[in-house]
Chain A
Amino acid sequence: MASIRLERLTKVFGTTRAVDGIDLAIPDGEFVVLVGPSGCGKTTTLNMIAGLEAPTSGDIWIGDTRVTDWEPGDRNLGMVFQNLALFPHMTVFDNIAFPLRIKRLPHDAIAARVRAVADTVHVGRLLAKRPATLSGGEAQRVALARTIVVQPSVFLMDEPLSSLDAKLRVEMRTELKRLHATLRSTFVYVTHDQAEAMTMADRIVVMHQGRIQQVGRPLEIYGDPVNRFVAGFFGVPAMNFVDGELRLEASGLHFAAPALGVALPGRRGAAGAAVLGVRPEHVRFADGPEAWPATVSLIEPLGDETLVFLDYGGPASLVAKVGAEEELAVGDRRSFTFRLDRLVLFDLEMGGRIVG
């Protein structure tokens, strides 16, 4: 059993609270991604689970055991580091064999297991090489092999793909997911890349300023963010935010901003300052009385889709994601509306979600 439980986990460096009292339960076998901007405390959290940093307060449980002050080597964890941490003075074989030698396995058993693991991650022919002569992808696989070889119950990964080029990163993403399906171990993966989080995670833990902002399945986080930070962090291009205010009118709730007014029938809420959030794919061209006129100020074709920057008279332009077949030119006058059911509202000051 290798579930992980964090209780009021806190880490203070000098005067900064890097991790600020987080609670998290990770069930056995889950692929959890900790995601957030740099300095949000995700790596510190991972290092505390690994035992490389001692928590200032709080507890860490692995399975039913409290491991808060256990040595890293006693926790039965495997970790892949951002820089991979392959031993440069050892061959690939010796790198993979290193954890087995520490466990004092017999010579033959070590050789057999190293070969078996090396074959599963396709580095069998590299065993005699030194890490410095490997390509980025090969080094990545060797680091994985060295972690898998001891069959840990929990895998910790600290941005392991960040040193790879974009194409390889996408390939390795798939491969890691496949590996998780084969091993059925618990994976805790740290990244600042929201795309990695979305594509790989069973559940995403969004962190910001040492605190957990939201925990949920990828589509939950994307479609139903709890606050403005989470909403803005996920999605490329980022969600459009329009500052304005909520008014209660006879027809129902109404959002008003300079040059923009949206009726929100069926929604409840209190009047006051608010932020309207709308994802680019929920901005659409339309005609009619409900639509607002705008000028196309910039076009970014992505191939399958096109990003259109619309000047509608507000302080910033709105980004819309439209089909690539849409014929557009800078300077065109177009009208647009929103998909009303997908609009989200946030408190202007605190950034919290206004649900209603």
Chain B
Amino acid sequence: MRRRRLFSLVRHVLLLVWTAVTLFPIYWMLITSFKHSGEWVTWPPRWFPHEPTLINYVKVLTPGTSTFELGRQTLKILKPLWDSLIISTVGALVAVALGSALAYSWARFGTGGRNYPYNILSIRMVPPIVIAVPFVVYFATLRLLDTYTGLILVYVATCLPYVIWMMLAFIDEVPVELERAARLMGASRLRVLRSVVLPLTASGLVVTFLFVFILNWSELLLALTLTNTEVSTIPIQLNKFQSANEGRDYGPQAAIGAIATLPVVVLGFLIQKHLLRGFSFGLLRK
């Protein structure tokens, strides 16, 4: 009894330490985003901002293009934020719609042959940079470089394997007899999808959408290669802090980081119920 309690204590302490290690960078990012420039790199470090300020947020969220100020460029991210939202959302929606339809037709009708899901998985076996360069060539010809459509197409293509494999697991959870029973009662194939398959895979669709949205939201390499001035995403903006000048602009950088993290956290909380249901496979009575 005492040994079990000791074990439980050790386990909790270890988990707490681990949580602190993983959460600390996020904490540091958050408090830096509320600090004046003087506090970004003080020694000893300030654990709380002396005078909390929103100036970093105001700077990056001001409308207009990026401006130079005292030799430093302050990035304006309203436009990239909007671009990111559109591209990630539309990309995820299209990928989920296409991918779940593919997964369903493979699971129920064997469309594409036995190895289809494995073949499509091979898309993910190639390092993204390998496809990025040919895409530049294609897109230059098709005039898709630096457009929403171009980036959305690439994101749909790279996310399809994830969608198909996740949705296969959820569709497998729906006993085929449910669909057969509905068909025997006179339901059309579409009615079966609407009344039986969709409600039973709804959680899966939401979870998959969230997963793919986050992938798109945080994707850097393809976005960097396939966009230029017209379209830009948040990861590209963060990447710009690599240079000698902007590299020291910690406050706005932290603010952009916080803004980039926000949608993911909010979405996570909003669909927590679905996440729980979605990830606990085997809830349905077989």
Which A residues are within 8 Å of any B CB, using their own CB? 50-52, 71-74, 77-79, 81-83, 85-89, 98-99, 102-103, 131-132, 150
Contact = CB atoms under 8 A, between A and B. Distances in A.
Contact of A81 (B181, B186, B199): B181
B284 interface: yes
Contacts of A102: 182, 185-187, 191
A23 to B, nearest CB: 24
14 contacts: A50-B180, A50-B184, A52-B183, A71-B183, A72-B184, A73-B186, A78-B184, A81-B177, A83-B286, A85-B175, A85-B180, A98-B182, A99-B186, A131-B285
Contact of B285 (A50, A132, A150): A132
Given A85-B175, A87-B178, A89-B200, A73 B285 contact: no
B245 interface: no
Contacts of B182: 87, 98, 102
Nearest to B182: A98
B16 to A, nearest CB: 37
Q: Give chain B's interface secondary structure class.
A: helix
Contacts of A86: 285
B182 to A, nearest CB: 7
A87 B183 CA distance: 13
B195 interface: yes
A154 to B, nearest CB: 11
Interface in B76-129: none
Nearest to A149: B185
Contacts of B184: 50-52, 72-73, 77-79
B58 interface: no
A87 B187 contact: no
B196 interface: yes
B200 A73 contact: no
Nearest to A79: B184
Given A83-B175, A102-B187, A102-B191, A88 B285 contact: yes
Contacts of B285: 83, 86, 88, 131-132
Contacts of B178: 85, 87
Nearest to B185: A99
Most buried by B among A77, A82, A87, A150: A87
A78 B183 CA distance: 11
